[in-house]
Amino acid sequence: MRKQRLVMVGNGMAGMKTIEEILKHAPDVFDITVFGAEPHGNYNRILLSPVLAGEMTLADIMLNDLDWYSANGITLHAGRKVVEVDRVRRVVRSEDGTEEGYDRLLLATGSNPFIPPVPGRELEGVIAYRDIADTETMIEAACNYRHAVVIGGGLLGLEAANGLILRGMEVTVVHLGEWIMERQLDRPAAEMLQASLEAKGMRFRLGAQTEALLPAADDPAGRVAAVRLAGGETIAADLVVMSAGIRPNTALAESARLHCDRGIVVTDTMQTVTDPRIYAVGECVSHRGVAYGLVAPLFDQARVCANHLAGFGIGRYEGSVTSTKLKVTGVDVFSAGDFMGAEDCDNIVLHDRAGGRYKKLVLKDDRLIGAVMVGDTSDGSWYFQLVREGRNIAAMRDQLMFGQSFAQSQLGDAGHQGQNQAALLPDSAEVCGCNGVCKGTIVKAIKEKGLFSLDEVRKHTKASSSCGSCTGLVEQILASTVGGAYQAVDKHAKPVCGCTDHTHAEVRAAIREHKLLSIPAVMKALDWKTPNGCATCRPALNYYLVSTWPHEAEDDPQSRFINERAHANIQKDGTYSVVPRMWGGLTTPAELRAIADAAEKYQVPTVKVTGGQRIDLLGVKKDDLPAIWADLGKAGMVSGHAYGKSLRTVKTCVGAEHCRFGTQHSMRTGVNLEKMLFGMWSPHKVKLAVSGCPRNCAESGIKDVGVIGVDSGFEIYVAGNGGIKTEVAQFLCKVATEEDVKEMTGAFLQLYREEGFYLERTCHYVERVGLDYVKRLVVEDADSRRELHERLLYALKDAPDPWAEQQVQPLARHYKTIQIHDLSGESSHGMAESVSA
């Protein structure tokens, strides 16, 4: 089959992001040709300001150098401007006469700076601030001249002014509005920002209209020498930077008679409304009446466009909420969403003029809709995420102002030392305690490799890729390094992995609605992009299948992590740990004897008591697993599931059976709960505890389900966590009898099993859906509770002991190492003996 021809006009960030995504998902579909007006490869335009400020070099900000294009088989016409699109012949032609035919055309022509029509704008030394050439002009001017005027006090203008000051120029910002950055900041924030910029030497003329740019009196056609404002004031200027906004570059599209209205008008699939063969992305586009000028929404568009061009046809672009961060070192400003707020909104404001801190949160109907911050912006990405998710914040409204670590301690991602202010950390600070990654390493990788998303940072640096407790901190570092280019993604709206565009929720729904019973069936029904998934999606799919259709769906051992496949816990040296179940933490002399015998017989190097009141045999060779299980099985012990996303342990105190304070029989209740839940697979591990009195010796307050006996019955707590981030369990209800405890616990865990996403602990599940929702279905609605509990009991009916199951052939054989011995005198074609049992 002939490859289709894809031609892209424009070589900027949005367009190249689209190409990169296409190469990732459908590398063989297109022959790709790119026209770029600039003579460079693709570079990170957002980082021009740090280049101007002398904090980075041009080489640092290249995203795709010229070699990259040839390595990926892309024809690049750099420095050639396309002047005509012939939609009938489907050909584009450039200024120098180069023609390329296309099957699909992608317009990514970006935007042009708006140059106000003032006299003198054609003088030498008057420039816009858009590209590498402008940046180089400014750097050069700073070497030879003294006075600069920046017209336009928006984001880009202020960054330009800052860069020029750092390069030694005297800079005045002339701004038409009453305050600077009025599209991103309210007045108090802008005034505070202005004060800190003035402290750096920047001068301002606000509410000022530029009347003319004047040359030197003795050289009327030469270089600019001054700026005259309405009212007569003149300001010396050897360099004038026009930064009065941008306009979508639609000239080419208009000449091809594509519908434009303040941008090339596109649909939700990024196709032009006029010609579906022609796509457009980036600053040149008008989508639902909005033209975006920040990089994050443009990347969203690029992903949708690539998805559609690659033939998947699933993604839709539905617009973006944007956030802004000013890249001026030492001055932190952040704004997102609707920061002005209408009359029906409430504002929460902190305004410390002398301390240089301002923070305004705009709320509407218990949702955060906008935020502005000056001074300390460390919580910016968190607020932005709240704005995007539209989450109800009623429960933390009181603490919202004080930031993430105060308001949402249960999120568990403030870093392993509880740090939450990434910007204040030194480069040497260890951010990821699991993988030993310092802040400096992360920042360096972000800059050098052009990383924009948390996933990319994880892949390249490993930071936050293990326990995940520093995720929030890594996100902050990313946000403060790339500025406005960073857009936090809603993790629940993300596809399961690169093999699919579907989210966990969508996959689950499809399995239920279409009664899909095997992984191949799911992948076929949902158009998986890979032949057999990957190590991320397969375990998730397997769990969704067996939890949705117990006794019917196919359980695929090869789609389970090794621990669940080998029914033991893999250790760093490749040996395994074996934990027999001890119901409720109780054991007998006979069991202990059997454990001791097994430990000696299989030369177990370490025997340890676990946090969940069990005995762990560490360092067992895989070859010995079936035999040690058989020995333990003879003494009546079964698998403790200490390795799975499953019921782990029910920890108990001695309770009313022995304790002089005990009010309830916690050992009996714990044993019965554990027997009821034996063999339960779940989205993540599940730990329970039962205490016999409020002294709570079993630590019920930090368990997925914690039961505390009181004189009149049992209190049930859910969604606690003792691990990565200690999380106090929340009170669910109080019940009278042990039977009630079992039903309530079963119903709660079944709800979690049915609705939790794979690898989501109960604390994160309850945080996502809300405790009120859980209470409604589990506590208040008796029918719902009974049905949930019955579904759990049905799923767990006849739950087998995995250790016993593994004893049969050929499964047991798979644990054995195959020995190959060289036979002396054997001929070279190698008839060696193979032993496979």
Partner 1 sequence: MAWQKVCPLEEIPLLGARVVEHRGERIAVFRAEGDTVFALRDACPHLGGPLSQGIVSGSGENARVTCPLHGWNIGLASGEACAPDEGCARHYPTRLASGEVWLEL
Q: Tell which phi-psi region holds residue 396, choosing left (phi > 0), alpha (psi between -120 and 50) or beta.
A: alpha
Spatial CB neighbours of 320, under 8 Å, sequence gap ≥ 6: 292, 296, 297, 300, 487
Q: Is there binding between residue 70 and partner 1 (CB under 8 A)?
A: no
Strand positions, DSSP E, 13-79: 30-36, 42-43, 62-64, 75-78
Q: Is there binding between residue 557 and partner 1 (CB under 8 A)?
A: yes
**Residue from 255, 329, 532, 588 in contact with partner 1 (CB under 8 A):** 532
Residues 391-450 that bind partner 1 (CB under 8 A): 449
Q: Is there binding between residue 570 and partner 1 (CB under 8 A)?
A: yes
Question: Is residue 534 marked as binding?
Answer: no
Query: With 0-12 CB in 10 A as exposed, 13-18 as middle and 19+ as buried, what is 555?
Result: middle
**Residue from 2, 551, 660, 829 in contact with partner 1 (CB under 8 A):** 829
519 versus 751: smaller Cβ distance to partner 1: 519
The least CB distance from residue 519 to partner 1, in Å, is 10
**Residue from 465, 587, 664, 745 in contact with partner 1 (CB under 8 A):** 465
364 versus 462: smaller Cβ distance to partner 1: 462
Q: Which stretch binds partner 1 (CB under 8 A): 188-196, 324-332, 567-575, 720-728?
A: 567-575
Residue 95 has φ and ψ, to the nearest 5°, of -50, -40
The least CB distance from residue 556 to partner 1, in Å, is 8
CA separation for the pair 742, 116 (Å, rounded) = 74
**Residue from 230, 290, 394, 820 in contact with partner 1 (CB under 8 A):** 820
Determine the 3-state secondary structure of 240 from DSSP: strand
**Residue from 87, 247, 460, 494 in contact with partner 1 (CB under 8 A):** 460
Q: Please count the residues of this chain forming the interface with partner 1, following the rule CB under 8 A.
A: 40
CA separation for the pair 63, 43 (Å, rounded) = 5
Closest CA to 90 of 151, 11, 33, 155: 33
Q: Where are the alpha helices (DSSP H) in 241-333?
A: 251-255, 295-309
The least CB distance from residue 214 to partner 1, in Å, is 54
CA separation for the pair 22, 5 (Å, rounded) = 13
Q: Which stretch binds partner 1 (CB under 8 A): 610-618, 705-713, 755-763, 817-825?
A: 817-825
Q: Is there binding between residue 491 and partner 1 (CB under 8 A)?
A: no
**Residue from 97, 231, 232, 810 in contact with partner 1 (CB under 8 A):** 810
CA separation for the pair 570, 562 (Å, rounded) = 7
Question: Is residue 697 marked as binding?
Answer: yes
H-helix or E-strand spanning residue 354: none
**Residue from 531, 551, 589, 772 in contact with partner 1 (CB under 8 A):** 531
Q: Where are the alpha helices (DSSP H) in 200-267?
A: 251-255
The least CB distance from residue 455 to partner 1, in Å, is 12
**Residue from 218, 354, 428, 572 in contact with partner 1 (CB under 8 A):** 572
Question: Is residue 653 marked as binding?
Answer: yes
**Residue from 88, 221, 354, 832 in contact with partner 1 (CB under 8 A):** 832
The least CB distance from residue 534 to partner 1, in Å, is 5
Q: Is there binding between residue 539 and partner 1 (CB under 8 A)?
A: yes
143 versus 818: smaller Cβ distance to partner 1: 818
∠ CA 597-600-602, nearest 5°, is: 105
In eight-state DSSP terms, residue 580 is B
The least CB distance from residue 447 to partner 1, in Å, is 15
Cα torsion through 159, 161, 163, 164, rounded to 10: 160
The least CB distance from residue 569 to partner 1, in Å, is 11
Question: Is residue 143 marked as binding?
Answer: no
Q: Tell which phi-psi region holds residue 759, choosing left (phi > 0), alpha (psi between -120 and 50) or beta.
A: left
Closest CA to 159 of 129, 199, 115: 129
455 versus 506: smaller Cβ distance to partner 1: 455
55 versus 455: smaller Cβ distance to partner 1: 455
The least CB distance from residue 614 to partner 1, in Å, is 22
The least CB distance from residue 800 to partner 1, in Å, is 19
**Residue from 144, 428, 824, 828 in contact with partner 1 (CB under 8 A):** 828
Please measure the distance between the N-terminal and C-terminal CA atoms of the chain and give it in whole angstroms: 49
Closest CA to 394 of 779, 772, 780: 772
Q: Is there binding between residue 775 and partner 1 (CB under 8 A)?
A: no
Q: Tell which phi-psi region holds residue 397, choosing left (phi > 0), alpha (psi between -120 and 50) or beta.
A: alpha
Q: Which stretch binds partner 1 (CB under 8 A): 154-162, 332-340, 566-574, 666-674?
A: 566-574
Joined together, the tokens standing for residue 302 give 């690029």
Q: Is there binding between residue 830 and partner 1 (CB under 8 A)?
A: yes
Contact predicate 727/763, CB 8 Å: yes
Query: With 0-12 CB in 10 A as exposed, 13-18 as middle and 19+ as buried, what is 533?
Result: buried
Residues 593-652 that bind partner 1 (CB under 8 A): 622
Beta bridge partners of 279: 106, 271
Residues 456, 461, 467, 469: is their CA dihedral positive or negative? Answer: negative
**Residue from 265, 566, 650, 686 in contact with partner 1 (CB under 8 A):** 566
Catalog residues that contact partner 1 under the rule CB under 8 A.
449, 459-460, 462, 465-466, 530-535, 538-539, 557-559, 561-562, 566, 570, 572, 574, 622, 810, 813-814, 817-820, 822, 826, 828-832, 834, 836
Q: Give the residue ranges of the annotated binding site.
A: 653, 659, 693, 697
Q: Which residues are annotated as a binding site for [4Fe-4S] cluster?
A: 653, 659, 693, 697
